[in-house]
Amino acid sequence: MSGMKQWEAVDAGWGRLAADFATLSEPSNVREYVGLHHALGVAVGDRLLDLACGAGLALELASLRGAQVAGIDASPRLVAVARDRNPDGDVRVGDMNELPWDSASFDVVTSFRGIWATTPNAMAEALRVLKPGGRFGMTVWGHIKASPGAWSLSPFTLAAEPQVRNQADMNQMGRPGVGERLLADAGFADIERLDIPFVWEFADPEQFARALASTGPAYEAIEQVGAEEFHRRCVELAAGHVRDGLPLRAKINVAGFTARRPVEVPESYEGDFTGSFLGWYPPSEYAEQSRQADLDEDGFVWTVTKLWARMPGAFDDLFALQRSAAKFGGLSLRQRGVLTTAMAATLGDSACAYAWGGKYAKWADDPDVPASALRGDDDALPPDEKALAGWARKVVRDPNATTSADVDDLRRAGFTDDQIFAATLFLVLRLAFSSFNDALGLRLDQAVVDKLPAAVRDAVTWGRAPI
């Protein structure tokens, strides 16, 4: 391999049995992938990059959460599998220490046991391609010797002594404080360590031996003892862990880290980030008054306040018109609640669904009522609110498809023509507000969601995850 760059040599170990790795070894990593994606709040609209993406299963799972995915790996043969799994993704062969993407290109960057203590430059590159405020997550091996499944990794020690020593050097990030220090040195903020679920499972010793042989560390062991001997040792080892009627199971300690790229605050302004696709909102007397009002009332600044502070008066004017419509039609708080929750659920707007689902739960004195409207079954709603919910969904889906019969349904539910006018005006103003927020990527604050009844939280299964 003379003349090769270090990263180009990776394919010899990891790419030689790419199909075996993708189908026999990698599926056991699903718990790890899902656990970190959940911790990072990967959601619809996120642009996500995975470093050392391997065969691309983590990218595929991120796509299922709505992310637009990109990946890079040193092995052309693994990248071929990743591209097959992610035909719409931007998956490239290359060096994670010199990423081929522009700065501030991604909302999320991940790496699953791909960045090590021996590759710290990859962290600096991850930071560079993240947008300000963007999220970073990575996993590393934890305290392997204390793991119940430590036995499953022991065949790797069949490699030559220098290679075994290098493996130990790579795995230092899981030690207390090491990963945190390296991330901080790279410039990351809000660094947190978490336990990541990880279990290898195999049908029998033969499958275990074949799956293990497809990995990079196994290649080094095979170079030392030969493929047949490595296979024999693996089968012999796994035979001692067979359980009648159950798969071989090896639970291994894996540590995870989450962090963020800091947002550079202009020296002249100490405001808050918008929580949207836009940057800092410009300082003004109106912005500061709005910010202080939130702090006084709730103890934190709502993301919607941060976004709308950009244009003084716009938020107040829009909501003044909504209040006028509600007053004209004599709409109760509950009626406004059902209109807004049904609208938000139909639009797929999680922010308004959470916020108004919580309000509606208080007004109805029953969290199952808004949960029913959010799910769309309306079973828990009284007849007048059921009629409003149905009207809201029709208006949101296709206002040109409404009929006079739909209006008659509202009349039969007890609403006058003035009330129908008012309810519709209130509804479309709320729809405009939600559509504007969604288009600019607004997310609700996690502090708000955490206080909601479980029935409301569980009913919202769509839209952007909270901040």
For every residue of 291-325, DSSP letters joined together read HHHHHHHHSS--HHHHHHTTSTTHHHHHHHHHHHH
* CATH code: domain of residue 110: 3.40.50.150
Confidence at 7, pLDDT banded by 50, 70, 90: low
| Percent of all residues in the chain with a pLDDT value above 90, rounded to a whole number | 72
Assigned domain for 236 exists: yes
**Is it the case that residue 105 has pLDDT exceeding 60?**
yes
Q: Return the residue matching tokens 């709505």.
A: 66
- Are 191 and 79 in a shared domain? yes
**Is it the case that residue 280 has pLDDT exceeding 50?**
yes
- Are 60 and 176 in a shared domain? yes
What range does the domain containing 434 cover? Answer: 313-459
Question: Total domain count for the chain?
Answer: 2
Report pLDDT digits (tens) over 176-203: 889 999 999 999 999 999 999 999 999 9
Assigned domain for 272 exists: no
Which of 226, 260, 294 finishes a domain?
A: 260
Residues 130 and 109: beta-carbon distance below 8 Å: yes
- Are 336 and 254 in a shared domain? no
pLDDT of residue 2: 44
- Are 344 and 243 in a shared domain? no
Task: Flag the least confident range among 123-137, 262-276, 297-311.
Answer: 262-276
Q: Which of left, alpha, beta for 212 (phi over 0: left; psi -120 to 50: alpha)?
A: alpha
- Are 101 and 166 in a shared domain? yes
Assigned domain for 307 exists: no
- Are 324 and 210 in a shared domain? no
Report pLDDT digits (tens) over 314-350: 999 999 999 999 999 999 999 999 999 999 999 999 9
Residues 213 and 17: beta-carbon distance below 8 Å: yes
Work out the widest C-alpha separation in the chain, in whole angstroms: 86
Which of 260, 278, 300 finishes a domain?
A: 260
Q: Is the C-alpha dihedral spanning 342, 343, 345, 349 positive or negative?
A: negative
pTM of the model: 0.62
Report pLDDT digits (tens) over 389-420: 999 999 999 999 999 999 999 999 999 999 99
Task: Flag the least confident range among 157-166, 252-261, 267-276.
Answer: 267-276
- Are 95 and 215 in a shared domain? yes
- Are 446 and 332 in a shared domain? yes
Assigned domain for 277 exists: no
- Are 349 and 250 in a shared domain? no
Which of 260, 281, 303 finishes a domain?
A: 260
* CATH code: domain of residue 455: 1.20.1290.10
- Are 340 and 244 in a shared domain? no
- Are 234 and 129 in a shared domain? yes
Task: Flag the least confident range among 131-135, 192-196, 245-249.
Answer: 131-135
pLDDT of residue 42: 94
Distance (Å, rounded) from C-alpha 231 to C-alpha 257? 34
Assigned domain for 153 exists: yes
Assigned domain for 353 exists: yes
Assigned domain for 61 exists: yes
The shares of helix, strand and coil residues in the chain, as percent rounded to the nearest 5, are 55, 15, 30
